[in-house]
Amino acid sequence: MSTGEHIFARIRAGLGRGPLSAETVAQLESRIAAHAPNLIPARSRVPEAERLALFEQMAEEVGTTFAHAASYADVPAALLAYLCEHGLPEQLRMSPDAALGRIPWNVEPGLQIARGRAEPADLVGVTPCFAAVAETGTLVLVSSGERPATLNFMPDTHVVILAASDVFGTSEDAFAKLRAAHPGGPFMPRTVNFVTGPSRTADIELTIVRGAHGPRRLHVIVVRDSGAPP
Amino acid sequence: MKITSHAFKANAHAAMGNRTLRGALERMETGGFSAARVAAVARLPEFDELRDRAVEIKNHTLAHLDFYLERFEREVLAQGGQVHWCATAREARETILSLCRKADAKTATKGKSMVAEEIALNPFLEQNGIAPIETDLGEYVIQLADQPPSHIIVPAVHLNKEQIADLFLKHHAQYGKTERLTEAQALVGEAREIMRQKYIDADVGITGANFLIAETGTTIIATNEGNGDLTQMLPKMHIVISSIEKVLPTLEDACTLLRLLARSATGQESTVYTTFSTGPKRPGDLDGPDEYHVVLLDNGRSGMLGTELQDALRCIRCGACLNDCPVYRSVGGHAYGWVYPGPIGAAIDPLFIGLEEAADLPGASSFCGKCEEVCPMRIPLPNIMRYWREQAFEREVTPLSQRAGITVWAWFAKRPALYRRAAGIAVAALALLAGRKGRLRRVPFAEGWTAFRDLPAPEGRTFAQQWRAQARKRAS
């Protein structure tokens, strides 16, 4: 008997039963297949028009900052303004994401953009965003060849480009979007990062300090008209 | 870590005389997580209902634990990862060592993991030539101090800024850092800078898991610093060490439990980072580990199923029971003498290290019930402690003097008339002995009390007498 089987045997002995019947197994399989949401807090069920405001309120509480762009064409100016305001370098590392690539970055020639995974010297990272959760002010970032997860953690400043239409009520909604993107097949990317504010720690005398190991600053540029990028 | 649970009473005495620790425990009480938890719970009207749902989910999962673990394993394999089953702490240590050797590892970065503490992984890796590097700031501090964690969530909460400043000065000179920093912000900044290179140089990254998802073969960690992420994405091998009871059926079930975890732990709406990891690096990915291993540890947990201890398997390690426990708040975590302190430690430590070693821990409770009240998973902690006390009595672990005392008391308690008369005599005698002062400096068999304070003397009548008098008054 392998160690795994040995552990299963002990589990069954503890539960006072043998292997599960085919009927029970079918029930359990269908519970997974249904993956039904459980209780959803009322807070998250706001009308669509108020969802973005709730998201921003919850995210600002934990130190996320915001800028707004009317459309994707206005994102470069919003990004440059943020970098200037905080005295940050205009060199940045961006996800090699096709949609981000279609933004007309050349309207701001000051921005020096490198694409790829994060390197240790990168100070500013710019990434797209899969979804956002209003209930807790959370960004949902998914990894792929176009979206290396190192960009979410290594640069000191993380700038996220978020389409207003990608703001959902709950994390369950964000997972529903992920499931819908891969119907019937495995849908989980290697990494899904829920990010709720900049990195922090309270390990020294319970004093909250930002920028423990991840980004010190988390800035979101919300694109209101989120039609496809030009 | 060296187990000192058998010396709980001596540890507790020493702890209460430790001024630095007193300062730390006072900080916890005034600016700590307990008040933040109350505020966070008040903001979520559905909190209690979510607790009920979470208990149902976890009970359902535990009742079908074999099914969900098998499904979890199948999904991890399907995503290109590997699962390693370990019945004992020793098997888990050896499995992790052989994985590290396979990766030809010299250093392994580590995210915070209580299971890694449970199996005493760090000293074992060190003995075998692999340097474990704790990356969570609190864990890093206690690694420098060569101490075990004193809290499940904030492992270095017993140390103050001055002590941490001294540790950094001593250990960071090798990196050319010779200035003694004293501000929290500056200390965090220095640790961050030093740790960056270590993440990059490490061959293996080891993290724990808060939850495992059967549906997708996903492991989840909830953190605030981001260290757990850098630990798992930069080295070529990611090892997850988890115990078997952490599995949940679906992502939606995890969403429900996540609503309880951060609120109960620190009073946050959500931790800063909640990371869902599924398998190794995919084709085309620019980062992520080449290999993904999940080490699943039983270590006696399967034996808790079907017993009085099964409810403790619902624990999500939020630490709320520590933060609100009057005993923990008086003696801190180290006094408990093993990995899991506080009420949850009193409930599960006897199973891991033996009742002989841990018999005093279930006794370290006033049964005020606060731990059960704040537990998001509604674990009946006082009942479990009572169970261990009974076990200790039955297995004759309890000292003879206590056993004799309980036997004598029980003999009287079963004879109410005699009990009342004896109590009346005792109360009158104590009142007489106390005299006008109304206090007793010393009482036979109660030195544990009178060594530190006087015993206020009874005023001449027993509880039963007063109760009857009151009932008569109300009736008339």
Residue B102 lies in a domain: yes
**Are the beta carbons of A199 and B226 separated by less than 8 Å?**
yes
Q: Which of B142, B133, B103, B157 is nearest to B1 (CA)?
A: B142
pLDDT value, residue A12: 98
Domain boundary residue, one of B373, B398, B423: B398
The percentage of residues in chain B with a pLDDT greater than 70, rounded to a whole number, is: 100
Which of A57, A93, A191, A218 should we substitute to test contact with B (largest number of B Cβ atoms within 10 Å)? A191
Residue B93 belongs to a domain = yes
Residue A143 scores a pLDDT above 70: yes
How large is the average pLDDT for residues B181-189? Answer: 95
CATH number at residue B344: 1.10.1060.10
Closest Cα in chain A, distance from residue B398 (Å): 27
Q: For residue A228, is pLDDT > 70?
A: no
Q: Which residue of A has its CA nearest to B303?
A: A14
- Collapsing DSSP to helix, strand or coil, A228 comes out as coil
Spatial CA neighbour of B362 closest among B393, B317, B332: B393
What's the CA gap between B55 and B375, in Å, rounded? 11
| B286 and B309 co-located in one domain | no
How much is the pLDDT for A229? Answer: 54
Report the C-alpha gap between A93 and A151 in whole angstroms: 8
A171 contacts on B by Cβ (under 8 Å): 255, 258
Token output for A62? 């934990």
Measured in degrees and rounded to the nearest 5, phi and psi for residue A189 equal -70, 170
User: Could you tell me if B235 and B204 are in contact, meaning their C-beta atoms sit under 8 angstroms apart?
Assistant: yes
Same domain, B87 and B221: yes
Residue A134 sits at the vertex; the CA angle it makes with A128 and A135, to the nearest 5 degrees, is 135
pLDDT at res. B119: 98
Coil, strand or helix at A198 = coil
Per-residue pLDDT at B442? 82
Contact residues on chain A for B274, CB-CB shorter than 8 A = 138, 193-194, 196
Segment B94-97 long-range contacts (CB within 8 Å, at least 24 positions apart): B95/B295, B96/B121, B96/B125, B96/B206, B96/B239, B96/B241, B96/B295, B97/B124, B97/B125, B97/B128, B97/B130
Interstrand relation of B273-277 and B291-297 (parallel, antiparallel or unpaired): unpaired
C-beta of residue B81 within 8 angstroms of C-beta of residue B279: yes
Confidence at residue B454, expressed as pLDDT on a 0 to 100 scale:
87
Residue among B65, B185, B214 whose CB faces A11 most closely: B65
B107 and B166 belong to one structural domain: yes
- Tell me, what's the ipTM? 0.97
Range of the domain at B139: 67-248+279-296
Distance CA B433, CA B439 (A): 9
Give me the residues paired with residue A157 across strands. A124, A217
- Please indicate, yes or no, whether the overall pTM of this predicted structure exceeds 0.90: yes
Verify that B292 and B336 share a domain, yes or no. no
What pLDDT score was predicted for residue B426?
A: 86
Pair of tokens at residue A100? 């981000």
Q: Do B447 and B345 lie in a common domain?
A: no
CB contact under 8 A, B270 and A136: yes
Q: What is the CATH number of domain A48-223?
A: 3.40.50.10420
Helix axes B251-266, B33-42, angle to 10 degrees: 130
- Which of A38, A186, A204 shows the shortest C-beta gap to B256? A38
Q: Which pLDDT score, from 0 to 100, does residue B443 have? A: 80
Contact B291/A at CB under 8 A: no
Secondary structure (3-state) at B430: helix
State which residue of chain A sits closest to B51, comparing Cα positions.
A39
Phi, psi of A158 (to 5 degrees): -115, 115
Distance of CA B121 to the CA centre of its chain: 17
Host H or E run for residue B75 = helix B65-78
φ/ψ of residue B48, rounded to 5: -65, -35
The pLDDT tens digits of the residues spanning A107-137 come to 999 999 999 999 999 999 999 999 999 999 9
- Give the C-alpha separation, B260 to B187, whole Å: 31
B266/A202 Cβ within 8 A: yes
Per the listing, tokens 């340097």 go with B131
Binary contact (B285, A32; C-beta < 8 A): no
| B308 and B457 co-located in one domain | no
* Cα gap B241→B113, rounded to integer Å: 8
The highest-confidence range among A147-151, A181-185, B391-395, B464-468, by mean pLDDT, is: A147-151
Q: How close does chain B come to A80, measured CA to CA in Å?
A: 26
Nearest CB partner across the interface for B154, out of A150, A202, A213:
A202
Is the Cβ pair A38, B278 closer than 8 Å? no
User: B184 and A209 in contact by Cβ < 8 A?
Assistant: yes
Q: Is residue B127 domain-shared with residue B226, that is, in the same domain?
A: yes
What's the pLDDT score for residue B402?
Answer: 84
* Residue of B76 and B428 predicted with greater confidence: B76
Judge if B363 and B463 occupy the same domain. no
pLDDT tens, position by position, B379-403: 999 999 999 999 999 998 888 888 8
Give the three-state DSSP class for B255: helix
> What does the DSSP 8-state code read for residue A156?
S
Whether B389 is in a domain gets the answer yes
Instruction: Walk across the sheet containing B273-277 and list its strands.
Output: A167-168, A131-133, A138-142, A191-195, B273-277, B218-223, B211-213, B247-248
Tell me, yes or no, whether B133 lies in a domain: yes
Angle of helix B400-413 relative to helix B416-434, nearest 10 degrees? Answer: 120
**B20 found inside a domain:** no
Quickly count: other Cβ atoms within 10 Å of residue A44's Cβ: 20
- Backbone phi, then psi, for A144, in 5-degree steps? -170, 180
Q: Is B101 on the interface with A (CB under 8 A)?
A: no
B70 touches chain A (CB under 8 A): yes
In the 8-state DSSP scheme, what is residue A132? E
pLDDT score, position B235? 97
Q: How far is CA A213 from CA A91, A160, A209, B76, B389, in A?
A: 21, 18, 11, 28, 44
- In this complex, do B252 and A36 lie within 8 Å of one another by their Cβ atoms? yes
Q: Which residues contact A77 (CB under 8 A, 6 or more apart)?
A: A69, A107, A108
The DSSP symbol for B226 reads: S
Share of chain A above pLDDT 70, in %: 98
Are B441 and B316 members of one domain? Answer: no
Q: What is the phi/psi pair of residue B407, to 5°?
A: -60, -45
pLDDT at B448 over 80: no
Q: How confident is the model at residue B441 (pLDDT cuts 50, 70, 90)?
A: confident
CA distances to B115, B165, B348 from A136, in Å: 29, 35, 33
Whether the CB-CB separation of A26 and B208 falls below 8 Å is answered with no
DSSP states of B232-247 as a string? HHSSSEEEEEEEGGGE
| Residue B87 to residue A7, Cβ atoms within 8 A | yes
The residue among B398, B425, B451 that closes a domain is B398
Number of H helices, E strands in chain B: 23, 12
User: pLDDT tens for residues B333-364?
Assistant: 999 999 999 999 999 999 999 999 999 999 99
Domain co-membership, B373 together with B423 = no
DSSP state letter for B130: -
Mean pLDDT of chain B: 95
Whether residue B266 is contained in a domain is answered as no
Six-digit token string for A114 = 């490198």
| Residue B8 C-alpha, separation from nearest chain A C-alpha, in angstroms | 25
Given a cut of 70, is residue A63 above it in pLDDT? yes
Reported as a single tens digit per residue, the pLDDT across B64-75 is 999 999 999 999
CA pair distance B303, A13, nearest whole angstrom: 8
Domain(s) of CATH 3.40.50.10420: residues in chain A: 48-223
Residues B230 and B135 in one domain: yes
Structure confidence by residue, pLDDT tens digits, B415-427: 999 999 998 888 8
Same domain, B223 and B100: yes
Nearest to B65 by CA among B299, B288, B310, B233: B310
d(CA B342, CA B332): 8
Give B335's DSSP letter. G
Cβ of B327 under 8 Å from any chain A Cβ?
no
Give burial (CB, 10 Å; 0-12/13-18/19+) of B387: middle
Total domain count for chain B?
3
- Which pLDDT score, from 0 to 100, does residue B203 have? 96
Question: Tokens 């921003």 belong to which residue?
Answer: A56
Yes or no, beta carbons of A171 and B255 under 8 Å apart: yes
Q: Is residue B57 part of a domain?
A: no
Closest in B57, B225, B305 to A214, CB measured: B225
CB B88 within 8 A of CB B295: no
Number of inter-chain CB pairs under 8 A, A vs B = 266
pLDDT digits (tens, 9 = 90+) for B263-287: 999 999 999 999 999 999 999 999 9
Asked if A41's CB is within 8 angstroms of B46's CB, the reply is yes
pLDDT in tens, A78-91: 999 999 999 999 99
B135–A213: do the CB atoms touch at under 8 Å? yes
Beta carbons within 10 angstroms of residue B20's beta carbon:
12
Please provide residue A163's backbone torsions phi and psi, each rounded to the nearest 5 degrees: -80, 130
Give a yes or no: residue B37 inside a domain. Answer: no
Inter-chain CB proximity A203 and B136 less than 8 Å: yes
